[in-house]
Amino acid sequence: MQFDSGTDILGVVDVQPTFMPGGELPVADGDAIVPVINRLLGRFDHAFATQDWHPADHASFASAHRDRRPYDTIEMPYGDQVLWPDHAIAGSPSAAIHFAIDQTRIEAIIRKGFRPTLDSYSAFFENDRQTPTGLEAWLRQRGFARLFLCGLATDFCVAWSAEDAARLGFSVTIIEDACRGIGLPTSEGRTSMDDARDRLTSLGVRFIDSGAL
């Protein structure tokens, strides 16, 4: 694949210890993507990153709701919300970008989910799908048009970021071997990974392996 250094950018989504083995909300095999992402960072001239960045009493935490457990779903003013274990506490070591990530080419870091009553999966909007993070304006001012996304988790923060990017008119590619997913069951025989892939494919999002680059 040919790159255009002026319009292509790598997005490194939530590659934080909190989402890796030993973290508060671990994604299976999540740490395996770090060397793949570092290879990608060596290929792209430009990159941005995101961080989940929650206050300790965030409304998306199961601990904030009486008689609720992690992975329960509740109705919030902005829609359905999965309740998570406490994770990505702002300022904590586990909320930092993973120490082994080469940040040399990461030109912007978007922190999301810092509003106490509003969760955020997407790099572009909080979960009300209206409150912007500012990433769209930054990308457009810099002239980027093709986004290549990697990180954690494929079926949540990566998927929501890809969906919003596609709806905003960007060309979007997910680099599958530089991601890992959670795979929550959604219906008989299906998981959140299946649902995310179907939804994104219908929007024109491409899935490739890093070897294709």
Residues taking part in catalysis: 14, 112, 157
Cα–Cα distance measured from residue 71 to residue 85, given in angstroms and rounded to the nearest whole number = 8
Whose tokens are 């601990």? That residue is 63
- Does residue 213 contact residue 43 with C-beta atoms inside 8 Å? yes
Q: How far apart are the first and last CA of the chain?
A: 5
Query: What is 102-129 written as a DSSP string?
Result: --TTEEEEEEE--STT----SSSB-TTS
- Does residue 65 contact residue 83 with C-beta atoms inside 8 Å? yes
